[in-house]
Amino acid sequence: MTIHDVSDVLNNIRVVMVNTTHPGNIGSAARAMKTMGLSQLVLVKPKIFPSEEADWLASGAVDILQQARVVASLEEAIADCGLILGASARQRRIPWPVIDGRQCGELAVREASHHPVALVFGREAMGLRNEELTQCHYHVAIPGNPEYSVLNVAMAIQLLCYEVRTHWLLQSAVAEDTAQSMPIVARAWDEPLATHQDMQNFQAHFVRVLERLEVIDSKNPRQILVRVKRLLARVRPDKTELNFLRGVLTAVEDKGKLSGAK
């Protein structure tokens, strides 16, 4: 199977929670998934499910809990998957191929157009057992504080779903060949930026006012002028902002009777 519609990729990445003890974590996980556009949740022998606490913490993501599949074993949860990634905080006795969160997101998105992908998360107290970890293609280690690296399971799900979404957006942008950059930074400003010529005119006006205010010495303005130019270069005002600033300068001249006079 190859998915051609990029929007189906996220539906082909499932979150598998193994033997979850606290129902609140299941609810929080559902919310975390939905915020990142994932929807397929599989619960392996949860201690309590369904539950009011899970529903409450899921907030606007109760639909994901309602569609969640409850199964009796990890095997059942991942049987149809082509890529299985297991979250693992600890280094295990037998080293396994380990990837980080970024690589997890990239790999999951890349392969989810070809086959179902599983992100597997273990118990609150002890994570995944060795025999479960050996069923994974890669272990995912989120680089945490060596002195305290125990992420809450729903937090870990949030992080990896975030990495999945980030890479999915990147891939979508490439596929659609529209945006050069991430959609989120492409947010439009509400006004066109001032042109270089606008800025030159403003700068001349500003310097004229500064001289008349005797803030700078017109005979020896060099150092402060460089700083003013640097400041203005950083502002990059839009046209409305620049008009406003021009208005301020004109008001200073008028009120202070500075025009022409020294």
By the 8 A CB rule, do 15 and 64 touch? no
Question: Can you give the binding site for its own copies, defined by CB under 8 A?
Answer: 28, 31-32, 34-37, 59-61, 91, 94-95, 98-103, 141-145, 147-152, 154-155, 158-159, 162, 165-166, 169, 182-185, 187-190, 210, 212-215, 224, 227-228, 231, 234-237, 240-241, 244, 247-248, 251-252, 255-258
Relative to beta strand 13-18, strand 69-71 is unpaired
Closest approach of its own copies to the CB of residue 188, in Å: 7
Determine the Cα–Cα distance for residues 168 and 141; give it in Å rounded to an integer.
20
CB nearer its own copies, residue 72 or residue 148? 148
Q: Specify whether the CB–CB gap between 14 and 42 falls below 8 A.
A: yes
Nearer residue to its own copies within complex by CB, 45 or 137: 137
Q: Which is nearer to its own copies, 14 or 34 (CB)?
A: 34
In the chain, the DSSP E strands lie at 13-18, 40-44, 69-71, 83-87, 98-99, 117-121, 138-140
C-beta closer to its own copies: residue 14 or 31: 31
CB of 48 to its own copies, least distance (A): 18
> Who's near 66: CB < 8 A, 6+ residues apart?
none
Q: How far is the CB of 55 from its own copies (least distance, A)?
A: 15
What does R_g of the chain's alpha carbons equal in angstroms? 29
User: Smallest distance, Å, CB 159 to its own copies?
Assistant: 6
